[in-house]
């Protein structure tokens, strides 16, 4: 960040509307923002992963993180959109005689609001959507009415770290933990881990756990997420791993300790992130995939070849346009007869929504061309009264596209959870319409994707893909609906997200 000592002040004329200025106060990084005639001062780093907020954008009364698009209110520093939850510290500012000066750090006293109860809320699933929904309800003072039932043995954690920082060894296990829902403001939700829900008693407004514990609800929120697909060719083999949960990453890390060679089956984002992490952990990695070019079905072959080159520069070998015929725990045989040695194999061929619970309860399930998840309306309501679905399982009508989609992105799931909480509280009206967003880290390169298209056939490229500085604009039915960015073009993704959200 810049080194302006804002305790000594800066010329007020150098502070322009909605243009963050970086500086310091004592030992802390801060930003100054002039917005609607008022000068505000906040901690200068995003509370999610420490991104420098002076390179973010000020839009609609919020400052938006340049890395992962978290949003903070300019009125009080509150984190109003995931993936950040903790607020920004705020500072006292004085503007006098043409000089803007920070005079001190403000006390963080955020009172728990008094909110009318909406009854007992049961959330099935402690992933991105479930945690974010519980957090927003708890921040509004209703944490004591909320129960999360999660079949994961671990308390809610950041699943994006599973295939990235934690697997690569750049983060400790405890670093993956998500903040306690509600941030300590009032009663905390009851988070019950290791609890599987066996069925929903729709008429009786209760769920029944695998241990036959009956949990009543007034509002039931299904946030059951997705499960990795494991091909039949490797289901019975030893040394085969999926990568979805923290426990999955533990198992891969343990196997990798004594391994020299790893095989990744699938060139999906998760598969390629796993390949990068295992390479960084010191293993020789081979990727096997049906695709001719990695990620070509998402952003086109130009981006796919760029990402493939990033991996090849690090020593990763690709076997593309081929099928895995067999893996015996040590050697993979391809359909063309090629044999590849591997001490472990990580499957990254995609996931399927976990809809068995919803299906057994008689909830409406979306058709395959609508994503195959649980069908919900604009308010994220399922076909059963009092039951909602969010996150990876929700098939909802996207207002910009004009047809249902199901999205498997971490931040999108979080924001669905936050929106549903606000909707239940009466804080928002209308239907859900946040623009999907995700990012992927491939070594030191980050790619941002905003929007949604079924396929990237109609695309326009701006910049230099091979140099890692580009934007790919993607159309569906002749209308621009998504963009993938990298390098100096990343600001485009922030601006597009804001514009499409406002449309």
What is the distance between the alpha carbons of residues 262 and 352, in angstroms, rounded to a whole number? 24
Q: How far is CA 197 from CA 211, 214, 219, 390, in A?
A: 9, 10, 16, 17
Residue 312 has pLDDT above 90, yes or no: yes
Q: pLDDT category, 108, cuts 50, 70, 90?
A: confident
Mean pLDDT score, 106-126: 88
- Per residue in 353-397, pLDDT (tens digit) is 999 999 999 999 999 888 899 999 999 999 999 999 999 999 999
The CATH fold assigned to 121-227+352-424 is FAD/NAD(P)-binding domain (3.50.50)
Is residue 405 predicted with pLDDT exceeding 60? yes
If you average pLDDT over residues 298-310, what whole number do you get? 98
10-105 fold? Rieske Iron-sulfur Protein (2.102.10)
Here the tokens at position 315 are 């020593």
pLDDT given for residue 114 in this prediction: 73
10-105 and 121-227+352-424 share one fold:
no
Model pLDDT, residue 2:
52
Instruction: Check residue 332 and give its pLDDT.
Output: 97
Of the candidates 315, 312, 269, 309, the residue with the CA atom closest to the CA atom of residue 441: 269
* pLDDT digit string, tens, across residues 145-179: 999 999 999 999 999 999 999 999 999 999 999 99
Interacting residues of 356 by C-beta distance below 8 A, sequence separation 6+: none
What is the residue extent of each domain of the chain?
Answer: 10-105, 121-227+352-424, 230-349, 444-502
For the record, the structure tokens of 55 come out as 């390179």
CATH of span 230-349: 3.50.50.60
The whole-number average pLDDT for the span 70-87 is: 97
pLDDT at 310: 98
Q: Do the beta carbons of residue 52 and residue 45 sit within 8 Å?
A: yes
Residue recorded with tokens 């326009």: 460
């Amino acid at each position: 960040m810049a080194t302006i000592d804002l305790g000594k002040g800066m010329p007020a004329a150098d502070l322009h509307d909605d243009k963050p200025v970086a500086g310091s106060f004592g030992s802390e990084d801060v930003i100054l923002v002039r917005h609607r005639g008022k000068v505000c001062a906040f901690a200068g780093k995003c509370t999610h992963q420490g991104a420098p907020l002076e390179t973010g954008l000020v839009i609609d009364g919020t400052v938006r993180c340049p890395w992962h698009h978290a949003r903070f209110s300019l009125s009080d520093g509150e984190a109003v959109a995931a993936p950040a939850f903790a607020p920004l510290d705020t500072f006292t500012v004085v503007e006098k005689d043409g000089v803007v000066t920070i005079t001190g750090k403000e006390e963080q006293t955020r009172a728990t609001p008094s909110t009318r109860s909406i009854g007992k809320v049961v959330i099935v699933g402690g992933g991105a959507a479930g945690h974010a929904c519980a957090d927003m309800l708890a921040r509004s003072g209703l944490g004591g009415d909320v129960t999360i039932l999660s079949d994961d043995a671990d308390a809610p954690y950041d699943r994006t770290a599973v295939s990235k920082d934690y697997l690569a060894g750049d983060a400790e296990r405890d670093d993956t933990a998500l903040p306690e829902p509600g941030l300590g403001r009032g009663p905390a939700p009851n988070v019950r881990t290791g609890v599987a829900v066996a069925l929903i008693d729709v008429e009786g407004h209760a769920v029944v756990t695998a241990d036959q514990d009956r949990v009543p609800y007034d509002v039931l929120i299904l946030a059951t997420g997705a499960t990795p697909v494991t091909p039949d060719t490797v289901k019975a083999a030893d040394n085969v791993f999926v990568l979805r949960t923290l426990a999955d990453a533990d198992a891969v890390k343990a196997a990798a300790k004594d391994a020299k060679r790893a095989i990744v089956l699938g060139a999906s984002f998760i598969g390629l992130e796993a390949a990068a992490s295992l390479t960084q952990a010191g293993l020789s990695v081979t990727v096997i995939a049906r695709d001719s070019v990695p990620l070509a079905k998402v952003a086109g072959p130009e981006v796919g070849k760029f990402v493939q080159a990033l991996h090849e520069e690090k020593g990763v070998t690709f076997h593309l346009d081929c099928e895995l015929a067999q893996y015996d725990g040590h050697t993979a045989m391809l359909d063309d007869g090629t044999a590849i040695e591997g001490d472990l194999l990580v499957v990254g061929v995609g996931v399927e929504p976990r809809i068995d619970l919803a299906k057994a309860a008689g909830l409406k399930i979306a058709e395959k061309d609508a994503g195959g998840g649980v069908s919900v309306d604009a308010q994220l309501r399922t076909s059963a009264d009092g039951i909602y679905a969010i996150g990876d399982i929700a098939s909802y009508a996207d207002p910009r596209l004009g047809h249902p989609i199901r999205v498997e992105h971490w931040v999108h799931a979080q924001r669905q959870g936050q929106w549903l909480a606000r909707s239940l509280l009466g804080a928002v009206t209308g239907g859900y319409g946040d623009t999907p967003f995700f990012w992927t880290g491939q070594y030191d390169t980050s790619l941002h994707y905003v929007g949604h298209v079924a396929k990237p056939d109609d695309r326009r490229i701006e910049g230099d893909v091979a140099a890692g500085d580009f934007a790919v604009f993607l159309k569906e039915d002749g209308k621009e609906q998504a963009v993938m960015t990298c390098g100096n073009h990343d600001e485009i993704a922030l601006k597009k997200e804001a514009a499409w959200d406002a449309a």
